[in-house]
């Protein structure tokens, strides 16, 4: 059946019979928005993090039926001062290694900075410990978030 | 703007390619041997009239930085501006793109990318530079010796031109066999801080980086494979009625390792797999637990093995009346668990195979694919894509995921694109682990000296029975069992390292730093224990035994200075030190540790010194030390894959605990200045962290660690 998804500000029609299909696979296989990654399928690693109505959400564990009529933002569409600040800081630190988890890391970091202009190390731990990076770029992720906060005047 | 990775499709459409128009297009690959020459700037380098310089990188980028590193080497000698540099993965071609340290084989591993490419890629850049200058000299009627090329601009007197302006003329000139290389003091990029931002960062912060999972071909089918619950079982009877009834499921086919479900997308494939009813033939399956398998290793390690190295007379020294210390160390299976589980995209047209994925050892992969399809290797084209980590897991020695991809493609051929995706459960539960290992240690102390050291290793072999066996095994010992254990940097008069290969259990594989994952732990914690028994300082005690190991000693002195050793840490904390040489790089680390809730170790800070010869990309070296420390730490603290009744217990990150950001220590890295040839950094950051932490914990608790992981269980 056709469902309307509001993704990155546009309404997209997707033909998905099974309402239980995880949003992750609809974004990827139907819309070819491939920046959102599969890592575990059980909301343990955060590689699939998107924003739904502004809230960082694991796309592998939310059924597409629950995402209809809500604002879905992926790494391809995320914008605004926090997004710019995070990308700039990520670039300044050359944070990514393999890069596969970084979409999810960046989506979590942007959501954190929208909520909290001046996060402490503990705030960063709480907001980011659902995002696994097997390359262990955590050291630079933390530094980049602090720098992004500073650039936003936090 | 940040330079970005170019796409492979740019190859065929690139206008005005220069410095040799030859770039191996897919069609050419099928035609057989390539012309070779001592220097091949054409196969490695393309300069376009718009001044974009593209380096064709023979190594797989899975996070360790070869895309940027090899491009740095070319740009340095060429005299290019970093902003004009681009990079792309080379096609599979063992003649053009072999790893010089592997012999006639293209592949990435053993922390060898920079080490084997250092002179080769510099010569490519230098040859292109001389050709561009020669072309400018002819046009300007000026002596070549008076023309400079810096930051991508050729100059003579008041004349100047960007390199793209002379690219086509230069391409018609002969390639110089021995181009003059720069003196190190004139380097503008190599070893310079902030000179070389990574080429792949931009695409990796906006979702554009293309991984295998992101490939969609026309009418492509997504495939998942139902694997048996026990290692070694095969499908006996398959009831696929319910699976085929799932909308989107296109076909179901048994293959040698399981049952392949083909669907129009991943969700349908997963639902189809769940709906399969499979009866497995377990007559040749593994039924033992990992505890049983490790007990069997321990029994072997208690007996003498095949001697890998020895000097003096260990047996006599152990009986000579000094204090004898014994210990037995046990290491679990570890999964690599790269963020992107193994995957691959493939099509067979009846004569040729096209494959797109993060190929780590392209030449072995070509041979394996060719064998399964019954075609010649030349008819296998592999397009190497960015890979979401590997840590060794993408080195495919056969009977693994690549074989499944081939079988699944062949079963539905011809002319159907297939994308095989392993789920995380397939990955962590699927074998090809860091081997289980037991070390039986014996040492004798006489006065204030260690006079005897005996290390008997028992483990399954990584190389035995694979295409790598001739490279890895000698006299019944797999070198990866004993590397780091058979040649110590310490002066001990009576020494022996012997080993038993014990077959059985799930397949095992290279895992970031390979043998040094366990040998460095054993050597550095056992030595620490002996030094403590003698009342010696861990740093001074080591240095006093390192008369023949100046570079190890240099790294150790550097880290001690960086950490202010022997400064006493805050109340409740302790510091431990360890060092290891692996892949010809020398790394020493000091870890500061406390005990947190439930006695869980908390690592606050790690100081790290690395001597890897000439530091080509200092910030990548630091990043690899940081990442290696994080990777090593997570496993040594938390991780294990256990077997029960022949099947893996841990299958996803809920049980196979990964290091998270709140567990990552602060890290400070010092690069030891060196003019030695560059060596690798992808792996050498891993080995010292485990023993450094364990040595700190021993100070805190009085207890030594002989069983890994240190703190098993989930968070």
HEC readout, B13-66: HCCCCCCCCCCCCHHHHCCCCCCCCCCCHHHHEEECCCCCEEEEECCCCCCCCH
Average pLDDT, chain A: 97
**More confidently predicted of B448 and B31:** B448
Give the whole-number percent of chain B exceeding pLDDT 90. Answer: 90
Q: Which of B379, B401, B421 is the last residue of a domain?
A: B421
Determine which helix (DSSP H) or strand (DSSP E) holds B241, and give its type and residue range: helix B241-244
Q: What is the DSSP string of B403-430?
A: HHHHHHHHHT-SS--EEEE--HHHHHTS
Give the whole-number percent of chain B exceeding pLDDT 70. Answer: 94
B664 domain-assigned: yes
* Chain B residues within an 8 Å CB radius of A29: 222, 264-267
| Interatomic CA distance for residues B146 and B123, integer angstroms | 21
Of B629, B618, B552, residue with least CA distance to B592: B629
Average pLDDT, chain B: 93
Pair B386, B504 in one domain: no
| Interatomic CA distance for residues B682 and B61, integer angstroms | 11
Q: A2-73: which CATH topology?
A: Ubiquitin-like (UB roll) (3.10.20)
**pLDDT score recorded for residue B555:** 98
Pair B501, B392 in one domain: no
| Interatomic CA distance for residues B535 and B291, integer angstroms | 36
pLDDT in tens, chain A (154 residues): 899 999 999 999 999 999 999 999 999 999 999 999 999 999 999 999 999 999 999 999 999 999 999 999 999 999 999 999 999 999 999 999 999 999 999 999 999 999 999 999 999 999 999 999 999 999 999 999 999 999 999 7
Pair B650, B550 in one domain: yes
| Interatomic CA distance for residues B686 and B693, integer angstroms | 12
Write the CB contacts of B196 (distance below 8 Å, at least 6 apart in sequence). B68, B72, B75, B82, B189, B617, B619
Pair B39, B123 in one domain: yes
Min Cα separation B651/chain A (Å):
10
Pair B381, B495 in one domain: no
**Residue A55 near chain B (CB below 8 Å):** no
Write the CB contacts of B471 (distance below 8 Å, at least 6 apart in sequence). B463
B403 domain-assigned: yes
**pLDDT score recorded for residue B409:** 98
CATH 3.90.700.10 assigned to domain A81-151? The reply is no
Residue A98: closest C-alpha in chain B: B63
B201 domain-assigned: no
Tally A–B CB contacts below 8 A.
181
Pair B598, B503 in one domain: yes
* Chain B residues within an 8 Å CB radius of A133: 339, 661
**pLDDT score recorded for residue B7:** 42
Facing residue for A94 by CB, picked from B198, B209, B660: B198
**pLDDT score recorded for residue B608:** 99
Pair B218, B350 in one domain: yes
Question: Residue B80 corresponds to which tokens in the numbers above?
Answer: 């290019």
Burial of B398: CB neighbours in 10 Å, binned 0-12, 13-18, 19+: middle
Give the whole-number percent of chain A exceeding pLDDT 90. Answer: 98
| Interatomic CA distance for residues A109 and A141, integer angstroms | 9
pLDDT value at B14 more than 80: no
Tell me the pLDDT tens digit for each residue of B570-579: 999 999 999 9
Tell me the pLDDT tens digit for each residue of B545-601: 999 999 999 999 999 999 999 988 999 999 999 999 999 999 999 999 999 988 899
Do residue A34 and residue B214 have CB atoms under 8 angstroms apart? yes
For the segment B94-102, the average pLDDT, to the nearest whole number, is 93
| Interatomic CA distance for residues B594 and B700, integer angstroms | 7
pLDDT band with cut points at 50, 70 and 90 for residue B36: very low
* Best residue in A1, A40, A109 for a mutation probing chain B (most B CBs within 10 Å): A40
Q: What is the CATH number of the domain that holds B614?
A: 3.30.365.10
Pair B369, B306 in one domain: no
**Residue A40 near chain B (CB below 8 Å):** yes
Domain ranges of chain A: 2-73, 81-151
Do residue A45 and residue B339 have CB atoms under 8 angstroms apart? yes
Q: Which of B398, B421, B444 is the last residue of a domain?
A: B421
Residue B654: closest C-alpha in chain A: A44
**Residue B245 near chain A (CB below 8 Å):** no
**Residue B654 near chain A (CB below 8 Å):** yes
Do B158 and B127 contact (CB within 8 A), yes or no? no
Of B484, B454, B492, B497, residue with least CA distance to B325: B454
| Interatomic CA distance for residues B498 and B314, integer angstroms | 12
* Chain B residues within an 8 Å CB radius of A142: 661, 664
Write the CB contacts of B359 (distance below 8 Å, at least 6 apart in sequence). B60, B92, B365, B382, B384, B394
Q: What is the DSSP string of chain A?
A: -EEEEEETTEEEEEE-S-TTSBHHHIIIIIT--TTSPPS-SSSSS-TTEEEETTEEEEGGGSBGGGTTTSEEE-TTT--SHHHHHHHHHHHHTT--SS-TTHHHHHHHHHHHHHH-SS--HHHHHHHHTT---TT-THHHHHHHHHHHHHHTT-
Which residues 85-144 in chain A show a CB within 8 A of chain B? 87, 90-91, 94-103, 106, 124-125, 128-129, 131-142
Question: Residue A135 corresponds to which tokens in the numbers above?
Answer: 């390359």
| Interatomic CA distance for residues B527 and B524, integer angstroms | 5
Do residue B389 and residue A94 have CB atoms under 8 angstroms apart? no
B389 domain-assigned: yes
| Interatomic CA distance for residues B587 and A120, integer angstroms | 32
pLDDT band with cut points at 50, 70 and 90 for residue B40: very low
* Chain B residues within an 8 Å CB radius of A27: none
Question: What's the domain range around B238?
Answer: 212-283+342-421
* Chain B residues within an 8 Å CB radius of A37: 211, 213, 339-340, 388
Q: Which of B394, B421, B448 is the last residue of a domain?
A: B421
Min Cα separation B250/chain A (Å):
15
**pLDDT score recorded for residue A154:** 76
Write the CB contacts of B469 (distance below 8 Å, at least 6 apart in sequence). B463
Pair B362, B445 in one domain: no
* Best residue in A35, A129, A136 for a mutation probing chain B (most B CBs within 10 Å): A136
B204 domain-assigned: no
B167 domain-assigned: yes
Write the CB contacts of B173 (distance below 8 Å, at least 6 apart in sequence). B131, B134, B135
B197 domain-assigned: no
User: How many structural domains does chain B have?
Assistant: 3
Of B83, B82, B84, residue with least CA distance to B46: B84
Do B281 and B233 contact (CB within 8 A), yes or no? yes
B325 domain-assigned: yes
pLDDT band with cut points at 50, 70 and 90 for residue B171: confident
pLDDT value at B41 more than 80: no
**Residue B714 near chain A (CB below 8 Å):** no
**pLDDT score recorded for residue B39:** 38
pLDDT value at B83 more than 70: yes
Tell me the pLDDT tens digit for each residue of B673-687: 999 999 999 999 999
| Interatomic CA distance for residues A70 and A64, integer angstroms | 11
């Amino acid at each position: 059946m056709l469902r309307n998804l509001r993704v990155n500000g546009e309404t997209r029609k997707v033909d998905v019979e099974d309402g239980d299909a995880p949003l992750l696979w609809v974004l990827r296989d139907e819309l070819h928005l491939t920046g959102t990654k599969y890592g575990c399928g059980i909301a343990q690693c955060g590689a699939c993090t998107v924003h739904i109505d502004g809230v960082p959400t694991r796309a592998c564990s939310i059924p597409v039926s629950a995402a209809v009529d809500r604002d879905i933002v992926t790494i391809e569409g995320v914008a605004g001062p926090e997004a710019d600040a995070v990308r700039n800081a990520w670039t300044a630190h050359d944070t990514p290694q393999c890069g596969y988890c970084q979409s999810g890391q960046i989506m979590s970091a942007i959501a954190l900075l929208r909520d909290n202009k001046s996060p402490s190390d503990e705030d960063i731990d709480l907001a980011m410990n659902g995002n696994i990076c097997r390359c262990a770029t955590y050291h630079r992720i933390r530094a980049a978030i602090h720098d992004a906060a500073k650039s936003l005047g936090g | 703007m940040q330079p970005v990775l170019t796409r492979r499709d740019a190859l065929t459409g690139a206008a005005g390619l220069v410095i040799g128009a030859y770039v191996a297009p897919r069609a050419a690959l099928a035609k057989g041997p390539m012309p070779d020459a001592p220097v091949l700037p054409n196969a490695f380098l393309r300069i376009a009239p718009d001044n974009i310089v593209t380096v064709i990188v023979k190594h797989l980028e899975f996070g360790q930085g070869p895309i940027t590193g090899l491009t740095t080497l070319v740009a340095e000698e060429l005299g290019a501006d970093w902003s004009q540099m681009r990079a792309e993965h080379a096609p599979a071609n063992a003649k053009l793109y072999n790893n010089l340290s592997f012999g006639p084989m293209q592949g990435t591993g053993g922390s060898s990318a920079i080490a084997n490419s250092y002179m080769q890629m510099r010569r490519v850049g230098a040859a292109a530079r001389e050709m561009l200058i020669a072309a400018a000299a002819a046009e300007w009627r000026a002596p070549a010796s008076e023309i400079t090329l810096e930051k991508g601009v050729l100059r003579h007197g008041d004349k100047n031109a960007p390199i793209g302006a002379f690219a086509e003329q230069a391409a018609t000139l002969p390639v110089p066999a021995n181009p003059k290389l720069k003196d190190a003091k004139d380097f503008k990029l190599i070893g310079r801080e902030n000179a070389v931002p990574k080429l792949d960062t931009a695409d990796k912060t906006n979702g554009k980086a293309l991984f295998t999972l992101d490939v969609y071909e026309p009418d492509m089918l997504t495939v998942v494979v139902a694997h048996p619950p026990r290692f070694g079982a095969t499908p006996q009877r398959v009831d696929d009625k319910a699976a085929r009834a799932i909308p989107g499921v296109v076909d179901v086919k048994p293959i040698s390792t399981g049952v392949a479900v083909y669907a129009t997308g991943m969700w349908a494939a997963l639902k189809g797999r769940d709906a399969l009813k499979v009866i497995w033939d377990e007559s040749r399956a593994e039924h033992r637990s990992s505890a049983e398998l490790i007990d069997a290793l321990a029994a072997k390690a208690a007996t003498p093995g095949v001697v890998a190295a020895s000097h003096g007379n260990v047996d006599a020294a152990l009986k000579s009346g000094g204090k004898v210390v014994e210990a037995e160390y046990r290491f679990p299976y570890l999964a690599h668990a790269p963020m992107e589980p193994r995957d691959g995209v493939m099509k067979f047209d009846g004569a040729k195979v096209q494959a797109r994925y993060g190929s780590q050892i392209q030449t072995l992969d070509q041979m394996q694919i060719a064998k399964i399809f019954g075609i010649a290797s030349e008819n296998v084209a592999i397009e190497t894509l960015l890979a979401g980590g590997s840590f060794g897991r993408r080195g495919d020695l056969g009977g693994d995921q690549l074989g499944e991809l081939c079988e699944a493609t062949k079963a539905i051929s011809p002319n159907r694109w297939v994308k095989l995706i392993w789920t995380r459960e397939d990955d962590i539960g699927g074998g090809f682990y860091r081997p289980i290992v037991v070390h039986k240690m014996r040492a004798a102390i006489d006065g204030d000296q260690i006079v005897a050291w005996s290390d008997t290793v028992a483990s399954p072999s990584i190389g035995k029975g694979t295409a790598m066996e001739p490279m890895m095994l000698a006299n019944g010992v797999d070198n990866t069992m004993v590397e780091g254990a058979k040649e110590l940097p310490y002066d001990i008069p009576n020494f022996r390292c012997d080993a038993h290969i014990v077959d059985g259990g799930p397949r095992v594989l290279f895992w970031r730093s390979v043998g040094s994952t366990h040998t460095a732990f054993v050597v550095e914690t056992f030595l620490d224990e002996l030094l403590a028994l003698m009342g010696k300082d861990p740093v001074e005690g080591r240095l006093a035994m390192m008369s023949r190991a100046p570079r190890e000693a240099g790294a150790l002195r550097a880290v001690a200075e960086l950490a202010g050793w022997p400064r006493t840490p805050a109340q409740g904390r302790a510091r431990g030190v360890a060092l290891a040489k692996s892949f010809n790089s020398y790394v020493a680390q000091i870890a500061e540790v406390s005990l947190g809730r439930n006695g869980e170790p908390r690592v606050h800070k790690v100081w790290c010194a690395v001597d890897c010869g000439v530091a080509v990309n200092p910030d990548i070296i630091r990043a690899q030390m940081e990442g290696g420390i994080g990777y090593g730490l997570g496993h040594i603290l938390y991780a294990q894959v256990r077997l029960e009744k022949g099947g893996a217990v841990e299958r996803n990150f809920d049980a196979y605990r990964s290091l998270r950001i709140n567990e990552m220590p602060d890290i400070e890295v010092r690069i030891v200045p060196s003019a030695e040839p560059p060596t690798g950094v992808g792996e050498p950051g891993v080995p010292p962290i485990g023993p450094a932490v364990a040595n700190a914990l021993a100070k805190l608790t009085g207890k030594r660690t002989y069983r890994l992981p240190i703190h098993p269980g989930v968070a």
